[in-house]
Structure 1
């Protein structure tokens, strides 16, 4: 998309330069050739922004040298300057600091050398130098913005991982307690009814497997993390979803229809808590970004091996209030994917927005 817009802009700049030079009776082939080459490097910057920037600067320098020796109109021309602006900004934004500094310095040296050779009144190098400084400033601003977004996103993910880890800690405690009770019962069964010993041991084995699975999830969630969680969201079941939806409806919010599975079964605490958080965050986003929606629908489907929750609204595709960053979606995705599930959010066909999360639930993991 970005390259498509840039391609149209570059083509317009090249055509305008050729037309202007032709009308003035000035040679235009070199200007267009150099401009096309530099713009081509800008469009091909892709995964190698440093190499593309170096190639663009080299092409512009060669064009300027040829123009000077052949007494042709000064280079770099308008299209080449535009391409260099894109190359410089992209390099500063994406390259490691050392490489970005080298590219920035190389461009400044080339522009300064052109001014010293052609004279301080040389328009191409004077404009080119100003454009290069503008590109470096824009690239640096975008680089700082990207760093802030990465830090904020990681903070949300870490908070969500730790919150879910606290819930899973409670799940492990639940399983361990069950193992202890079953072990005590097995001792009694072994004395009085030895024929039931295998069944009791199978129950201990199953509970141990469940505890091991939950502990592995805790370890995975806490990797590379040293923070301590003080609070955790509630591990709520279908009945708490009814209360959540009832509290949202009204108060200037759109009407919410809730569809729950019938009959419902208890969900594992980690799944129940995640379903609750997805619905809670989705309804909050509707209130913030789509208050003009007429209706929202929360649908929960519980099959034999998975639980899915979908939250949709019928608001127009253009939000009435700008979205500040979308970190709530990052948190929801982190929780769902940590449980081995899938998460998707985006506009619906026509109007409205949809959030869908699906989490696996093994039959033996359902809390009874």
Structure 2
């Protein structure tokens, strides 16, 4: 469903905000476009510098050195190889400082022909320069993208006006650089879309858990009301029984307070809860059996699960249910799904494994369900991991504290 609204030159189409012409003329629209581009923030923090970045620089430096030593017809060998080697380390800052990297690289490369009587550096290893416009549009802010693009165009224009290159060569260079930048912009959009999907999956799981917690708190409050009514009825005739009722009310209130604190931490939207009975660990038996020609589901519960927090019990059931559903949907050639629950004094452990084709499973799943499962476990102070088995099959493992107070 799409909703459009215009006000002060802005239209909202779903989650995309675009400037629109509200009657102020083409100039107003152009200013809105430029302002929105200029104010574009940088994406999420890029990955830190790792060994692959150093390896990349080393490969291009070695390539430039070898080219300088082996290429017989390389003009202005010393200057060309020096420029190629000197600019290669800028790749280390292509994500964290994309504007600085592209400005230094293209200014130095643009002025290099002044030292070689108008002959541009002709070292093939300098193909790494294409990574700089890519990184600029992938990791830069709006201001950085505008200023960096201006530097690139200024370099091409300077070479053309100075006669270092012809019009055709300048146009070809511009087309290649624009293509590299377009790829960076496409990857930027793709990463943003995936991040939104991940956040949506986490939000949905938070809301789902909040509804489960709502049902648990409602149960505790109802129990307190019943105990209070019973205490009032026998307060005059059986004072000791009334005192026992008060102690039970205190215990229920303590548990309800714990659940409410967890609910406040995870609730993100002011929506009414779906009042339905909370599933528990014992309800896992409902997952056992076979659906049609699908794999057989075998459920086994070991240990005392009676004292487990209702929110943890519901989470274990939800995690197992999601894991079984994923296995039935994605585990090709699977014949058996095992659901194992083990409870001790401190925690509850869940293990769901299948014997299907793990390679096809990894390629066919988007991973959003796993994100939601990890989010639910984390909110209750636990962990949830999933991955292929050494031989074949897939395993989901979750560990949650019995009380669920670690959220």
TM-score, normalised via structure 2 length? 0.76
Work out whether residues 387 and 394 of structure 2, in 8 Å CA contact, stay in contact via their aligned partners in 1: yes
- CA displacement 1:13-53 (0-9 Å, x = unmatched): 53564356x3225343333332233332113435x133xx4
Matched, 1:302 2:343: yes
Measured in 2, the distance between the counterparts of 1:266 and 1:84 equals 63
- Residue 287 of structure 2 is matched in structure 1 by 244
Measured in 1, the distance between the counterparts of 2:302 and 2:184 equals 51
1:220 to 265, 269, 281: 265
Measured in 2, the distance between the counterparts of 1:23 and 1:101 equals 40
Q: 1:288-299 maps to which residues of 2 (within 5 A)?
A: 288-299=329-340
Measured in 2, the distance between the counterparts of 1:115 and 1:91 equals 23
Matched, 1:99 2:140: no
Measured in 2, the distance between the counterparts of 1:123 and 1:31 equals 23
- CA displacement 1:200-224 (0-9 Å, x = unmatched): 332222211111121122222223x
Work out whether residues 49 and 90 of structure 1, in 8 Å CA contact, stay in contact via their aligned partners in 2: no
Would the alpha carbon gap of residues 15 and 76 (structure 1) be closer, same or farther in structure 2, given more than 3 Å must change?
A: same
Runs of 5+ unmatched residues, structure 2: 1-50
2:89 to 40, 60, 67: 40
1:318 counterpart SS class: helix
Q: 1:155-166 maps to which residues of 2 (within 5 A)?
A: 155-166=200-211
1:325 counterpart SS class: coil
1:340 to 381, 396, 405: 381
Q: 1:172-321 maps to which residues of 2 (within 5 A)?
A: 172-223=217-268, 225-226=269-270, 228=271, 235-248=278-291, 251=293, 253-262=294-303, 264-265=305-306, 267-319=308-360
- Residue 152 of structure 1 is matched in structure 2 by 197
Would the alpha carbon gap of residues 8 and 351 (structure 1) be closer, same or farther in structure 2, given more than 3 Å must change?
A: farther
Would the alpha carbon gap of residues 12 and 276 (structure 1) be closer, same or farther in structure 2, given more than 3 Å must change?
A: farther
Would the alpha carbon gap of residues 320 and 338 (structure 1) be closer, same or farther in structure 2, given more than 3 Å must change?
A: closer
Measured in 2, the distance between the counterparts of 1:40 and 1:172 equals 59
- Residue 49 of structure 1 is matched in structure 2 by 97
- Residue 60 of structure 2 is matched in structure 1 by 10
- Residue 325 of structure 1 is matched in structure 2 by 366
- Residue 181 of structure 2 is matched in structure 1 by 136
- Residue 26 of structure 1 is matched in structure 2 by 75
Q: 1:102-117 maps to which residues of 2 (within 5 A)?
A: 102-117=147-162
Work out whether residues 182 and 200 of structure 1, in 8 Å CA contact, stay in contact via their aligned partners in 2: yes
Would the alpha carbon gap of residues 238 and 42 (structure 1) be closer, same or farther in structure 2, given more than 3 Å must change?
A: same
Q: Which moved more, 1:337-346 or 1:231-240?
A: 231-240
Work out whether residues 336 and 343 of structure 1, in 8 Å CA contact, stay in contact via their aligned partners in 2: yes
Measured in 2, the distance between the counterparts of 1:355 and 1:261 equals 17
2:314 counterpart SS class: helix
Measured in 2, the distance between the counterparts of 1:127 and 1:346 equals 47
Work out whether residues 111 and 129 of structure 1, in 8 Å CA contact, stay in contact via their aligned partners in 2: yes
Measured in 1, the distance between the counterparts of 2:333 and 2:66 equals 46
Matched, 1:360 2:406: no
Runs of 5+ unmatched residues, structure 1: none
Give the number of equivalent residue pairs.
355
Shift of 1:171: 0.9
Work out whether residues 290 and 321 of structure 1, in 8 Å CA contact, stay in contact via their aligned partners in 2: no
Instruction: Point out the structure with the larger helix share.
Output: 1
Q: Which moved more, 1:109-118 or 1:149-158?
A: 109-118
CA RMSD in angstroms comes to 3.2
2:395 counterpart SS class: strand
2:289 counterpart SS class: helix
